[in-house]
A and B are shown apart, each in its own frame.
Chain A
Amino acid sequence: MIKKVLLTLITVALLLVACTPKSPADPQAPQEPSVLNVMTHDSFDITAELMTRFETENNVKVNIIKGGDTGSALNRLILTSTTGAQEADVFYGLDNTFLSRALENDIFEPYNAPALSKIDARFKLDPKNGGLPVDYGDVCINYDKAWFADKGLDLPDSLEALIDPAYKGLLAVENPSTSSPGLAFMMATITHFGEEGWLDWWQQLKANEVAITSDWETAYYTNFSGSSGKGPQPMVVSYASSPAAELIYAEVELEESPTASIVADDACWRQIEFAGILKGTKQRAMAEKFIDFLLSKDFQEDVPMQMFVFPVLPEAQLPEGFVKGSQIPEKPASLDPALIAEKRDAWVEQWVELMLDN
């Protein structure tokens, strides 16, 4: 009896291992495809067919490495490059809050992609074109429409309004030291209130019982009342595209999204995502092709539904469902990358000291 069970168990295990796909070599292929390693963040996605097309056209195998969130992926790259154990040829998904760290560490090789000429100058934050803009999105406060309608409470129309006692305990934010939307929102407040005033505002927000979580998942699904988790707070720091996602991934078809964003001036932080060719790559030509692919109309039109971000290429058409739920703030907040580079860590430290130390 025991031998049987053990034997079955071991056989099952071995079979399972043996059955795992091993990417069989295609005998028809003229030559072994080269491999391009692309480091990116965990939220990266793409229509499978689109990637296959790029791979067959260029006789290449694109090997995606998901390195955690943006910051973790970047740190991995910097660390492994110092030991010569470089993991990737291209990095995609670096955002403007971390761009400066990448540039300081000089991880990119410049590439003047032809498509760059079509892209709006306000997206191009690296003058040397080491990091090339690919997509953007806004980090905004989402609110629960039904909650506000129910209570007959007006929406806060500015960041200042959030410290009004009427909104006591109604907002959930993420810790900027562990969450990238949290960091983005903190940057928005620094843009708006200036380096002198921002901590005062946060002090008052703390007095107004803002809820703080470590990560977006907790803020959105356990704190926010507008999500399926139905938490206690009717406002949460999330993305301007989240209402569109609520619409697209609704269970029953909805007329309109149950949530919306507060798009007051400076209340949203514009996150721009960059891609770049990593220094020391042995696949420079293929890496250039991949960057061109990221900036091609096909890929640019793919990003809204796969990653809920906006394309930087003006000619890219947006899908209808995505446009319906999304709002674009007129005046999103932004800061000079050089200033971010100099102050980011100190700001986060100040924030943590003020908001988390009792």
Chain B
Amino acid sequence: MQKRPSWQVILLWAIPLAFLAVFFYQPLVAIFRLVFSERFRQGWQLFRWTQVSKPLGFTLYQATLSTLLTLVLGLPAAWLFARFQFKGRKILRTMTIIPFILPTVVVATAFNTLLGSRGWLNLGLMSLFDLSSPPLRVLNSMGAILLAHVFYNTSIVIRMVGSSLSRLNQNLPAAAQSLGASPWKAFKEVTLPLLMPSILSATLMVFLFDFTSFGVVLMLGGPQFSTLEVEIYNQAMSRFNLPVAGLLSIIQLIFTLLLSAMINRVNQPRYGKSAIASERSGLRKAKTAWEKAFVIFMIVTLLLLMVTPILSLVTRSFFTFEAARGERGELQTGFTLRYYRELFFNREGSLFYVPPIAAIRNSISYASITMLLATVLGLLAAYAIHYSGASGRFLEPLFMLPLGASSVTLGLGFLIVFGSSLLTQGRFQALIPIAHALVALPLVTRTILPALRGIPENLRLAAKNMGANPLRVFREVDLPILFRAIAVSLLFAFTISLGEFGASSFLSNVAMPTIPVAIYRYISQPGALNYGQALAMSSLLMLVCVLGSLLIEHLRLPGEEMF
């Protein structure tokens, strides 16, 4: 809570706040004004409070459970990647971010090929134990929701906590141990408190993603489960009961605000200053038996939970099972490139055929713009919050709200505000990266803040005393320390955009179709080729994601050692 001249702080606030005001608060206010207007009043006639309490209760319940499970897997995984060097570390780490970008329909098929009643796991168990019916029923259950949420969000914990862990000065716990503390005590008393800000940040982010979960609940949980977000969609789009949808959206927003404020209260940085190590990889090989066991256990767990569903998808996109359908029992499989070749071929001369190269190009352009936009805004927001002291902490939840806004509500708000004036003729392209950046902004801010709070002010003062101007101070002092966090932010924004999070589905994407748009085009039609092409497109999406994240993670500051 260093003080800066107030006009500088105000300037810092101005840009990200203006962005939010125009592209977030304005559409929200417009849509709320409309749905609560006289015209849609008849919607209240059928209203009962259980329409709120039931989905709210379930939403909180599943989000809490999902978040806990995600932490159980994510924290040790973050530790694994930040501390230990092992073969395939980099590629495994990159694989963990893939779930983030996958459309839910595709994840549902992946889980089905693995865990469905005729999936590999059940078939294996059936032949192993000579069972006549599949022993596991995972799909369409609470279990599927939890599993999918862990699958989707573990990478948030790995990246956010991981970036703090690698910044942590390892001399501190070592010093504690040399003063006689047990390793556990050193961890509990030294390491954990230093990590707490980023752990809490990650917890909040994961919770909010689970809290507003839509596709996972709808498609993997099945219709008997309903979260607030699902209910908002239901009320707005299928029943056209707008005021009730509006009320549910407001409740969702209020809870988001409360949760963010709550985390903020706990999240008071108390240590930090001396805890910063010069950016150096603390990676080493596992030495003791315990460490080796830990590393192996974690690798196996991650492979099973995160990598197998992805691999099964990719594998399926290269294999045909077609012959099996006519003559059941004789399962014939074969390697094929047919699905990929077919992607380049507009069989019916359709207007809305999506050439794969164009889809890849469009996805990458949106993702690159989103990445730059969200990271710059997030940096400004983080600095603004950091330098505003107590009032900053008070204002911070404002930046978290986009995560709690339902896509339907915000999407309809976009249409009302920008539909006719700014971007006529359905040309919403410019709004798409903006919509993605809205979702990425909270994550970026939350990733950068803990790193920023750890920068010792005396370093900056020293630089200033030696005559450095503010820009130079930023470049020489802040940037090297923030660098990991910035790279993680770029990665989050890039992947959020690739996966088309948020309200962008409301912005007609006909002119510049992306990879997810192409996937939906194929999977919404019957036929073996369509199914195969959907999987092939999904594999291409993963490829783009992997290459993009490898590139981003490869970013290095000059003089920084490669590892």
Contact = CB atoms under 8 A, between A and B. Distances in A.
Interface of A: 1-3, 5-6, 9-10, 12-13, 16-17, 19-21, 35, 37, 42-49, 51, 63-68, 71-72, 75-76, 78-80, 82-87, 101, 146-147, 150, 175, 177-178, 211-218, 220-222, 225-232, 238-239, 242, 245-246, 248-252, 254, 258, 305-306, 308, 345, 348, 356, 358
Interface stretch (B77-85, B152-160, B270-278, B505-513): B505-513
21 contacts: A45-B352, A48-B351, A66-B509, A68-B505, A75-B240, A80-B415, A83-B34, A87-B420, A146-B328, A178-B233, A212-B224, A214-B218, A214-B219, A218-B105, A221-B531, A228-B321, A249-B525, A249-B529, A306-B350, A348-B238, A358-B224
Given A2-B557, A85-B417, A213-B219, 18 more contacts: A9-B551, A47-B349, A48-B346, A65-B508, A79-B415, A178-B233, A221-B105, A221-B109, A226-B325, A228-B528, A231-B117, A231-B118, A249-B527, A250-B527, A250-B528, A305-B348, A306-B350, A348-B239
A75 B368 contact: no
A79 B415 CA distance: 9
User: Max chain A CB contacts within 10 Å: which of B239, B242, B554?
Assistant: B239
Interface in B235-269: 236-240, 242
A151 to B, nearest CB: 10
Interface in B493-513: 505-506, 508-512
B88 interface: no
A249 B554 contact: no
Interface in B508-563: 508-512, 520, 523-532, 551, 554-558, 560
Nearest 5 A/B pairs, CB to CB: A249-B527, A13-B368, A228-B531, A16-B365, A175-B223
B369 interface: yes
Given A13-B372, A178-B223, A228-B532, A221 B523 contact: yes
A17 B419 contact: no
A214 to B, nearest CB: 4
Nearest to B242: A79
A192 to B, nearest CB: 23
A16 B556 CA distance: 24
Contacts of B134: 232
B109 A80 contact: no
B234 A177 contact: yes
B363 to A, nearest CB: 10
A215 B401 CA distance: 29
A187 to B, nearest CB: 14
B393 interface: no
A110 B322 CA distance: 49
Interface residues of B, number: 88
A45 B349 CA distance: 10
B365 to A, nearest CB: 4
B353 to A, nearest CB: 8
Interface in B167-190: none
Given A16-B364, A37-B425, A214-B223, A251 B529 contact: yes
Given A48-B351, A177-B238, A87 B112 contact: no
B139 interface: yes
A345 B235 CA distance: 11
Given A48-B350, A65-B426, A213 B237 contact: no
B320 interface: yes
A16 B514 CA distance: 13
A230 B220 CA distance: 16
A308 B525 contact: yes
B321 A217 contact: no
A66 B109 contact: no
Contact of B323 (A83, A252, A308): A252
A79 B412 contact: yes
